[in-house]
Chain A
């Protein structure tokens, strides 16, 4: 129970142990724990940032979608307009073509009618000359009476 030189031995052991504990236990462990704390804080901050960015991206995606929809609607409207225009154009073209065909047909009919008239007139003239020949009992000289004949045909 006496105080002896062991006291100084114990002081030395105590001081050395403090130094060692600081060196091999407290130092590395508290540094590691501080680093872990920092990493956790960083991770949480990164998660927050990520969430924020996600929100922004969602907002942007919505905007893009809205724009796209609007564009699509516009394109659709334009296409419909163009389609009706084309249809109108087609209708107009068809009418013009029809009218043209009608006109051509009428002209042909008229032509045919005229030709038939001319033919008929010729026939009538022949018949008339033949009838006159029969009445005069002689051959009407076509050449001699060409003027007469022409006149006659014109009259018919």
Chain B
């Protein structure tokens, strides 16, 4: 971490800011390296999320090649248990039948968990390695980028709207906005309430995941700063063990958080799509 501090010119604020800056391409500010317009690509976010997606696909293909119904290996057992867990959640919370929901939920759970897991890799390791090949900005956790979380939540939102219209019909969907919470005498209030309710779904879904992971990343950075800035001379004998202990504690706690966040994202997706599939509102 001391390298990173030196690279950013020292200073706690700069260290943290540097770590929270994406690798930007396109319309980017040359000094702060922040996106200045919509047309900017966050290359690190795209790279890590796609790399993890490719990992999932490659793993699945490899697993699918030696699938055994009679004598499943330990790996297949593990994947089967995840599959059954997700299928159980879908069965419990999703009314009716839609063959797309279970693969969608599985994708969200596995992908979000893997992207969250990037948070557990030591915060300075990947930026340090990237520094060796000339990349000086790297934010390794895709879910600490709003683009990733909103990409998923808005995709889910699009599906919510699609299935609402498909199941309830355009008129039924409109009726839900007009008459939903308070009946037909408070139509303006109903419209406002329903709109807020619907828009809150993707926003809360995306912001919850982003907030949790962003905060987690920040805490990791702060813990890393203990050893990075305060461990000078003999003081290191005190600060370095403290950093290790705090880091380990937060790591273990965060392992819980990343799993929980992936689970919440998955379950809420199932619940929202389940609500879209019921026509009695």
The interface residues of chain B, by DSSP majority, are classed as: helix
Indicate if B12 sits at the interface (CB-CB under 8 A).
Answer: no
Interface residues of A in 5-49 (CB under 8 A from B): 5-11, 13-18, 20-22, 24-30, 32-33, 35-36, 39
User: Shortest CB–CB separation between residue A24 and chain B, in angstroms?
Assistant: 4
Q: Are A3 and B41 in contact (CB under 8 A)?
A: no
Complex Cα distance A22/B100, Å? 8
Choose among A5, A22, A24, A32 the residue that contacts B41 (Cβ–Cβ < 8 A).
A5
A-B pairs with beta carbons under 8 A, tally: 125
| Contact pattern, B 121-160, Cβ under 8 Å of A = 1, otherwise 0 | 0000000000000000000001001111011101100000
Chain B interface size range: 35 or more
Q: Are A17 and B56 in contact (CB under 8 A)?
A: yes
Q: Are A32 and B69 in contact (CB under 8 A)?
A: yes
Q: Are B42 and A6 in contact (CB under 8 A)?
A: yes
Residue of A nearest to B102 (CB): A26
Question: What residues of B have a CB within 8 angstroms of the CB of A4 in the complex?
Answer: 26, 35, 37-42, 147
Question: What residues of A have a CB within 8 angstroms of the CB of B70 in the complex?
Answer: 36
Q: Are A21 and B103 in contact (CB under 8 A)?
A: yes
Question: What residues of A have a CB within 8 angstroms of the CB of B61 in the complex?
Answer: 24
| Contact pattern, B 88-104, Cβ under 8 Å of A = 1, otherwise 0 | 00000000000010111
- B residues sitting closer than 8 Å to A (CB atoms) are 20, 26, 34-35, 37-42, 45-46, 49-50, 53, 56-57, 60-61, 63-64, 67, 69-70, 79-80, 83-84, 87, 100, 102-104, 106-107, 110-111, 142, 145-148, 150-152, 154-155
25 examples of A-B residue contacts, CB within 8 angstroms: A1-B20, A2-B35, A2-B146, A4-B38, A4-B42, A5-B41, A6-B40, A7-B150, A7-B154, A9-B41, A11-B155, A14-B111, A18-B104, A21-B57, A21-B110, A22-B107, A24-B57, A25-B60, A26-B83, A26-B102, A28-B64, A29-B63, A30-B83, A33-B84, A36-B69
